[in-house]
Structure 1
């Protein structure tokens, strides 16, 4: 049952949500809320159905109309209900640029989903999705996405791979191998109610899936940098537009410079210092490719950047799909 009588419990009025003109009394844990029925009950569908059922009321009076006999919400925490009411009453909150902690929106999401308010559920999910790494760590967002089945949160793995392509063995590294500890620290500093309890098998599955994607990124990097980018003939539209003065000289300059790229970046990839992202492209762009016409150089860098971004997103999407059980193993998909 969602609603029950609070018996034998001393209730303290909530500091913010105890309105003098309130006509609906709700008890959550040891806190008493006095709110407006027409405002709040319409946002809690089970409560709205109970209050509007038209059933005969007991002789001692209906629940929720006096502080002595409030409606008690079971399975809900005071902090969750505070967040839910703030979304209803505090209009300024929605235009305040100060980000709310992730546990705030997780609580709002849970209650709005349970009480059938889909618009608020979607809004809360969007806030977590858009939260930057300073508000919620990518590993935390990934775990929350796995727990709740939200692709947008699982896709935080892009930031994880952006830190570098390699993910070390769980026993040797505190990042993903220690995710369970990281998550508990995160929850204890915020609200333990939102702890995502994962079994060891689930943690190993996530760990190995991320490492499979990491290995695929490493192989892709190695393959990409082994072969010098192909420069189209001078008849190609792009090259003719660049009006290169001596295209053969540009081809030779790229080939010579790429030998240095191949040697140097292979070492960076093996050390996990270079991921399939902007850091790899930055490393390539540092090479001068002496003798290459600047116009040809721009076209080569543009085409290579597009290839890197395409591979990067394909791999991240494949890993995210696998985590949520939506696709084949990573190696078979890309």
Structure 2
């Protein structure tokens, strides 16, 4: 499942899912110290709407207003063992890179590349080579190294005075991000139950934290909220049923429900979510979990548009900044809730 944005190295002795976090560590920086300087128009961010890890980069790009300087290629929701493919584009080729599959960009740089071909990936357009798929560092660099190109009013997603706390909270958030996969891909009953317990323990701790504050760290949206939202918004649609993470739906957990609603209704978050592609990816690609490939017709997700009431907790989503404008026409998602 490496190409699904779910890189794995091996299953533990007890059938535990283990994520391979070995990514291309090259960075695109303002000073170009890794050979790839920040340059408007030079790079293309390749994502899939289905993937929660890619969703982070899509959100950050939107919030910071980087659309004019960093183009985005969108792979289709399904793939085979070779890699994500651009089957949404005319002729099945990315309109800028001219490739059919993301693996072509990886092999252009590393002819013997054997690791996971994952999204998000940033590709150097002139050479057609993958620069990095290191998603945790990628969003931090969009906030820091690309600062010169942020829109007026862009929020501070990783403020220096809160970085230690954001990093600490993100360790807990990762237990949710990765925990749904550990629960769903467990190969033994014991491994599933252990992952299940750890997942909901982390969700309960985050719920306790969010009961008294609108956002995870400080009084504005930060990198921590960007990490948590993609998992929570996918939870009822896929993780609860497909991954057997079914103690509760997020819609049955009032604090996390309202927090998810709050962010979903915030420009830059909900307008990046494409539920049909999300559901198609998980239910069609993961045939080891869903052998029939049938995509469920539900659930009803209209609750995401209901009032959340979290304004009473205070906080300013964008701090001293402003919301992003509407997404480019070519990047708009359908209104499906």
TM range (shorter): under 0.3
Compute the TM-score of the two structures, normalised by the length of structure 2: 0.22
Compute the TM-score of the two structures, normalised by the length of structure 1: 0.22
For the pair shown, the structure with the greater C-alpha radius of gyration is 1
The one of the two structures with greater contact order (alpha-carbon pairs below 8 A, sep at least 6) is: 2
